A and B are shown apart, each in its own frame.
Chain A
Amino acid sequence: MNRTFLAVRRRLLQAVPVVFGIVAIIFLLLNLSPGDLVDVMAAEEQISDPQVLEQIRAEYGLDKPIYVQLANYVWNIVHLDLGYSFRHSQPVWDVIVERLPATLILMSVSMALALFIGGLAGVVASIKVNTLYDNLISVVAIIFFAAPSFWIGLMMMVLFSVKLGLLPVSGMYTIGGDYSLAGEIWDVTRHLVMPSFALGLFYAAIYARVMRASMLEVSGLDFIRTARAKGLGEKRVAFKHILRNALLPVVTLFGLQLGTMLAGSVVIESVFSWPGIGTLVFEAVLTRNFPLVMGVLLFGSILVVIANLAVDLVYMRLDPRIELR
Chain B
Amino acid sequence: MNVTTVTKRCTAVLAASVFAMALGAAPGAQAAGPKKGGTLVAVWQLEPHTLYSARGGGSSPLIVNTKILEKLVRQVAIDKFEPELASSWDISSDYKTYTFKLRKTNWHDGKPFTSADVQFTLKDVLAKLSSNGLLRAIEKVETPDAQTAIVHFSRPAPEYLALASLAASQSSIIPKHIYAGTKYSKNPANNAPIGTGPFKLKEWARGSHVEMVRNEGYWQKGRPHLDRLVIRYIRDPGARAAAMEGGEVLLAVSNPFPGPEIDRLAARPDLVADKKGYDTSKWQMLMEMNVRNPILAKKQVRQAIAYAIDQNFIVDTIFYGLGNASTGPIPVSQTRFYSPDTASYPYDPKKAGELLDKAGYPVKADGKRFTLKLVASPWFTENKKTGQYLKQVLEDIKIGINMETPDRGGTIRQIYCNYDFDITVSNSIASADPLIGTTHWFTSNGIRKCAAFRNASDYSNPALDKVVDQAAVETDPAKRKALLAEFQKIAMENVPIMHLVDIGMTNVVNTKVHNYSFTSQWMYDSWKDVWLEK
Q: Which residues of A contact B (CB under 8 A)?
A: 33-36, 39-40, 42-50, 53, 59, 86-90, 95, 98-99, 102, 150, 153-154, 157-158, 161-162, 165, 168-172, 175-176, 270-276, 279-280, 283, 286-289
Decide if B211 touches A33 in the complex (CB within 8 Å): no
Chain A residue contacts of B450, Cβ below 8 A: 39, 42, 50, 53
Chain B residue contacts of A272, Cβ below 8 A: 239
Decide if B186 touches A286 in the complex (CB within 8 Å): no
Decide if B236 touches A45 in the complex (CB within 8 Å): no
Most interface-central of B211, B408, B440 (chain A CB within 10 A): B408
Chain B, 216-244, CB within 8 A of any chain A CB: 228, 230, 232-236, 238-239, 242-243
Q: Is B79 an interface residue (CB 8 A)?
A: no
Q: How far is the CB of A102 from chain B (nearest CB, A)?
A: 7
Decide if A40 touches B408 in the complex (CB within 8 Å): yes
Decide if A273 touches B49 in the complex (CB within 8 Å): no
Decide if B190 touches A42 in the complex (CB within 8 Å): no
Q: How far is the CB of B169 from chain A (nearest CB, A)?
A: 12
Closest B residue to A95 by beta carbon equals B206
Q: What range describes how many residues of B lie at the interface? A: 35 or more
Decide if A48 touches B410 in the complex (CB within 8 Å): no
Choice from A45, A162, A271, A280 contacting B56 with Cβ under 8 Å: A45
Q: How far is the CA of A172 from the CA of B411 in the complex (A)?
A: 34
Q: How far is the CA of A44 from the CA of B55 in the complex (A)?
A: 9
Chain B residue contacts of A172, Cβ below 8 A: 208
Could you write out 18 A-B pairs with CB less than 8 Å apart? Answer: A35-B410, A35-B411, A35-B412, A39-B413, A42-B450, A43-B412, A43-B416, A44-B58, A47-B129, A48-B131, A53-B450, A89-B185, A98-B206, A161-B242, A165-B246, A170-B234, A171-B232, A175-B211
* A42-B451, A89-B185, A283-B47 known; A157+B409 contact, CB < 8 A: no
Q: How far is the CB of B319 from chain A (nearest CB, A)?
A: 23
Chain B, 173-200, CB within 8 A of any chain A CB: 185-188, 190-191
Chain A residue contacts of B520, Cβ below 8 A: none
Q: How far is the CB of A292 from chain B (nearest CB, A)?
A: 10
Decide if A158 touches B242 in the complex (CB within 8 Å): yes
Decide if B206 touches A175 in the complex (CB within 8 Å): no
Q: How far is the CA of A157 from the CA of B453 in the complex (A)?
A: 38
Decide if A176 touches B234 in the complex (CB within 8 Å): no
Choice from B53, B211, B236, B453 contacting A271 with Cβ under 8 Å: B236
Decide if A286 touches B207 in the complex (CB within 8 Å): no
Chain B, 392-427, CB within 8 A of any chain A CB: 406-414, 416-417
Q: Is B245 an interface residue (CB 8 A)?
A: yes
Decide if B230 touches A176 in the complex (CB within 8 Å): yes
Give 12 A-B pairs besides A39-B417, A44-B57, A154-B238 with Cβ atoms closer than 8 angstroms: A35-B409, A39-B450, A40-B412, A42-B452, A44-B58, A88-B50, A168-B246, A175-B41, A175-B209, A275-B207, A276-B207, A286-B409
Decide if A40 touches B409 in the complex (CB within 8 Å): yes
Decide if A170 touches B242 in the complex (CB within 8 Å): yes
Q: Is B454 an interface residue (CB 8 A)?
A: yes
Chain B residue contacts of A286, Cβ below 8 A: 407-409
Closest A residue to B249 by beta carbon equals A169
Decide if B452 touches A39 in the complex (CB within 8 Å): yes
